[in-house]
Amino acid sequence: MALAWELDKQKVPQWLESLRKEFEVIAPVRMHGEIVFVSLSGANQVALDYQNTLAPPKEFFLPPTETMFSFTTSKEGFNIILPEGEEKRRVIFGIRPCDVNALLILDKVFSEDPRDEYYLQKREKTTLVALGCNQPAATCFCGSVGGSPTLSDNFDVLLTELDGSYFVEVASEKGRELVNKTPSLFREAGKASGKKKEQVVEQAKKLATKPVDPLEVARKMAAYFNNSRWAQLGERCMECGGCTYLCPTCYCFDVVDRIEKEKGSRLRCWDCCLLPGFTRMAGDINPRESAEARIKQRFYHKWDYFVERFGVLQCVGCGRCTETALCHIDWEQVFRSVVGELWT
């Protein structure tokens, strides 16, 4: 059961400064008109008055480019140099519930055999301080995919904004450690605060739920595989890859070797299923040569294949793809079509 405290808003910078003494603190910051996650150089940088960040904090666990190992060559052969392990512990502060749920999805992928220690080491050394959504954006639909603007478990610390303070719930030893760094900043939450928190959550849930049943969509996906509407979507797709790079649950990557004379490195780099070369093979064979085939694969992977393999949807309803897609492909519109409603 989570412990509950209250923290006055004006005390948040003090808490962050105390955490920065022992942790790398990564938090939302306003830059060039957008909210992005960065490593804080000062507590006053943090911006918690936002609906969602431009990009998820996925990059701190699965970097866009990551060195897997370096190597040198000689007459005797290869010498492999592994990267140093993660040393300093980190705090992701102000992460939204949808992005916490996205990490749980990535955990399923990278915990399978063979385990991905590059990802898992970063995950183990990170503490999550989540921030509930009081005012979900119009593009958010976490409530329609089994999520919520808040969390009931799988967090370390959860903040819910009240009038002038945050309702603070602690659900792990990692989270308890953060609060214990500066116990004088916190006071025990009273019943009135708990009731207010529940009211805030219930109101937010209404804003984050669309009239779409995700399980019904998943059940019907197979019957719609050859539907002509996928061709219409393919014509609209600009193949820029923006929706996948901003998606908190996309994890496809390519592996390349960079070699210069007697030394080099093996890199893991993000890839995108919507790019024409994603499935290109030797002999210039490409089983998904058309944009129609690629965008259909993206939808089916998230709403059919992933469900079959892991038992959960590969979508957390953050709405980033809808908000940023230059071709205006709205997931809700696609869902409505799949369950038999009008395609718009």
Give the mean model confidence (pLDDT) for residues 160-164.
95
Rounded to an integer, the average pLDDT of 136-159 is 92
Task: Tell me what the mean pLDDT of segment 180-201 comes to.
Answer: 94
Q: What percent of the chain has pLDDT over 90?
A: 72
Average pLDDT over residues 173-194: 95
**What is the C-alpha separation between 150 and 159, in angstroms, rounded?**
9
Task: Write a three-state SS string for the chain.
Answer: CCEEEEEEHHHHHHHHHHHHCCCEEEEEEEECCEEEEEECCCHHHECCCCCCCCCCHHHHCCCCEEEEEEEEEECCEEEEECCCCCCCCEEEEEECHHHHHHHHHHHHHHHCCCCCHHHHHHHHCEEEEEECCCCCCCCCCHHHCCCCCCCCCCCCEEEEECCCEEEEEECCHHHHHHHHHCHHHEEECCHHHHHHHHHHHHHHHHHCCCCCCHHHHHHHCHHHCCCCHHHHHHHHCCCCCHHHHCCCCCCCEEEEEEEECCEEEEEEEECCCCCCCCCCECCCECCCCCHHHHHHHHHHHHHHHHHHHHCCCCCCCCCHHHHHCCCCCCHHHHHHHHCCCCCC
Return the pLDDT at 217. 77
When pLDDT is cut at 50, 70 and 90, the band that residue 339 belongs to is low
Tens of pLDDT, residues 249-295: 999 999 999 998 889 999 999 999 999 999 999 998 999 999 999 99
- pLDDT tens profile 222-241: 888 888 888 888 888 888 88
